[in-house]
Structures are given as C-alpha cells and as structure tokens.
C-alpha cells in the first residue's frame, strides 16, 4: 500500500481580515518584524490588529475528525516546522506517494507551470512533488477562510492527479505513515503561537520539531527606537 503524508498548515484555521497580511518570503523579517510593523500601523489608526484575526471553531474538533477518516500507522512519524516546504523533503525521504493537504493555500505554485521551474519553496512544494514524480496524487482540503479556488491552478490540474475535496468527501480508513504540521509564521501571527502549540499537543503523539523558532510577542515593552526599526521593516 502506498505511503501517505498528512500535511496540515496552521493557517487552515485562521481568518485574516486583510488579504495582504501574509508573505511568501520566509525569514526573520516576515516571521516577527513584519507582525510588529502591522501591529504599530494598525495602532496608529486606532485599531487592534488582533481583532482582525480569528480561529475557526473547527479547531477544537479537528483531530477527532481526522481520526474518523484516517488511520495512523503504529510507527507514525510526526514533524513540526515553521515552513511548509519541509513537506517536500518529508515526502521524498519517507517515500510517501500520496499527500493530503489541509491548508488555506494549495502550494502548487503561483503563476502557472513556470513556477515549478524554480527551486522548492513554501508556495510550490506540492507542485514540485508532482512535477518531480515523487508523488502520484495530491488531495487538497481548503480551510474555511481560503480565498483560493481550484480553477486558479488549471494548468496543474490538467496534467497532474490533483483532487479538491471537503472533509466529508475524502473517504475513510486512509492509512497515514507521516504527519507534518507547519506554523507558516509569515501568514499566522505570533500571538496565536500558544494556540498552535496546544493544537499540536492535542494530537497526542510524540513529534520532532524542525526549525520552528519561538517567536517573542511583547507589545507592552516596545521602545521608540524599536518602533522605528519595525516600521522600516
């Protein structure tokens, strides 16, 4: 039986009021500094940025729903990272031929088939797995707040085995050998990181953390010079 990777992005659960509060660049600036910049900019406008984000009520029952559809191998491996690009390496190294993706983004590559000619990154890793013939099928379950539509990826859909499903349509008794949970800190705010950690723990399985740095979020002790630096980020 083919090995299956279950890949879950934290942004699957997060409603974001502004579409431009996110970045496909993953570095210290996008993971932390830009969030302080957005916080300061909103505060100057008399708004609380935290009120522009909310978590899906599905969060509390997600693992129960997952276990209703998926069967975990006895020796299942679980990885936690910040970047979703790790799923490319996980699938490759563990010989996973099928990927189930729960995400607000399809990560098939943006800009048509030419986007798959670039190196593997957080926006094209799933498309690259298909192009490199490392997987034979991708099943995408969009989060409730996604702004994407399957037709955005028509070039990929026409040549690769890609299915778009909702939770009820994915079937049952799907055996999973590997799970990857990513934070996508360029898209998800630091003040929700504790909820993210709680979500991981609720899975109830041991896991390995791979490059998922702790993000300090302290808006009460930002100096004037820090504010200037963040606004220049």
Q: Which residues contact 64 (CB under 8 A, 6 or more apart)?
A: none
pLDDT at residue 177, as a whole number = 96
pLDDT at residue 6, as a whole number = 98
Would residue 216 be called left, alpha or beta, if left means φ above 0 and alpha means ψ between -120 and 50 degrees? beta
Closest CA to 26 of 133, 125, 153, 138: 125
pLDDT at residue 168, as a whole number = 87
Residue 156 phi/psi, 5-degree rounding, is -70, -40
Q: Which residues contact 177 (CB under 8 A, 6 or more apart)?
A: 3, 4, 5, 73, 75, 76, 77, 94, 96
Structural domain boundaries in the chain: 3-231
Closest CA to 7 of 69, 84, 62: 84
pLDDT at residue 1, as a whole number = 73
Closest CA to 123 of 1, 2, 11, 4: 11
- How far is C-alpha 178 from the chain's CA centre? 16
**Mean per-residue pLDDT pooled into runs of 10, the chain (233 residues):** 94 81 58 88 90 93 96 96 96 96 95 90 95 97 94 95 93 95 94 97 97 90 78 72
Task: Using the structure block, give the residue that is written with the tokens 């009120």.
Answer: 51
DSSP helix, strand, coil percent of the chain (3-state; round to 5): 40, 25, 35
Q: Give 106-162 as a 3 state SS string.
A: CCCCCCCHHHHHCCCCCCCHHHHHHHCCCCCEEEEEECCCCCCCHHHHHHHHHHCCE
184 vs 27: CA distance, rounded Å: 11
């Amino acid at each position: 039986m083919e090995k299956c990777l279950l890949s879950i992005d934290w942004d699957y659960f997060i409603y974001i009021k502004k579409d431009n509060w996110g970045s496909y660049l993953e570095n210290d600036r996008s993971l932390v500094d830009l969030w302080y910049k957005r916080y300061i900019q909103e505060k100057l406008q008399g708004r609380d940025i935290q009120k522009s984000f909310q978590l899906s009520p599905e969060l509390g029952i997600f693992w129960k729903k997952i276990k209703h559809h998926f069967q975990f191998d006895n020796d299942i491996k679980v990885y936690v990272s910040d970047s979703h690009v790790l799923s490319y390496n996980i699938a490759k190294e563990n010989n996973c031929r099928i990927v189930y993706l729960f995400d607000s983004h399809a990560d098939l590559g943006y800009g048509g088939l030419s986007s798959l000619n670039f190196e593997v990154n957080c926006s094209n890793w799933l498309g690259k797995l298909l192009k490199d013939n490392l997987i034979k099928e991708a099943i995408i379950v969009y989060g409730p707040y996604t702004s994407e539509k399957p037709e955005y990826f028509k070039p990929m859909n026409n040549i690769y085995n890609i299915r778009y499903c909702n939770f009820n349509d994915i079937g049952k008794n799907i055996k999973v050998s590997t799970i990857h949970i990513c934070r996508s800190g360029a898209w998800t705010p630091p003040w929700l990181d504790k909820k993210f950690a709680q979500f991981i723990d609720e899975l109830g399985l041991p896991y390995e953390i791979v490059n998922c740095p702790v993000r300090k979020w302290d808006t009460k002790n930002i100096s004037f010079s820090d504010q200037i630096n963040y606004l220049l980020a």
